[in-house]
Amino acid sequence: MRVGHGWDIHRLASGRQFKLGGVLIDWDKGPLGHSDGDALLHALCDALLGACALGDIGLHFSDSDPKWKDCDSGRFVTAAVEMASGRGFRPVNADVTIILEAPKLAPYREAITENIASLLGLPKERVNVKAKTAEGFGPEGAGDAVSCHAVVLMEEQGR
């Protein structure tokens, strides 16, 4: 068994689509990023890669590479799962935390959970999604950014 942790933060800007966990969020701001800016899937990707000692998202999907411009971040997670499998590991569960002042994410929690479960090839009962505010502190609390943490447990295949 191996544990991986990932973290990401993206500045929010007017006029950008807001994707979080692969789900489109109805809001007047969205994350700035080279890809779709999905901080939750970026953190999840880093957790998967980290658990298997495969580096980080920037190593495999550089923000200076034009082929990843506006890319759906679900592709990064799918590729990270495939890389982990190549090292002999598969996901067991995932626990993610979103830090965002607004909008409220309760209406999106189930869709985010289901999408992450699908990307990881897990039943949704093995994925937990939490949303927290920053209580007005820092860039998240000011409504200027979204940050996310992800933890995954990986199991060696065949055990």
Whole-number pLDDT of residue 66? 67
pLDDT in tens, 117-148: 999 999 999 999 999 999 999 999 999 999 99
Enter the pTM of the model.
0.94
Going from N- to C-terminal start, the domains of the chain cover 2-156
Mean pLDDT for the chain? 94
Strand partners, 89: 156
Check if the beta carbon of residue 11 is closer than 8 Å to that of residue 31: yes
Q: Write out pLDDT tens, residues 85-98.
A: 999 999 999 999 99
CATH 3.10.290.20 is the classification of domain 2-156: no
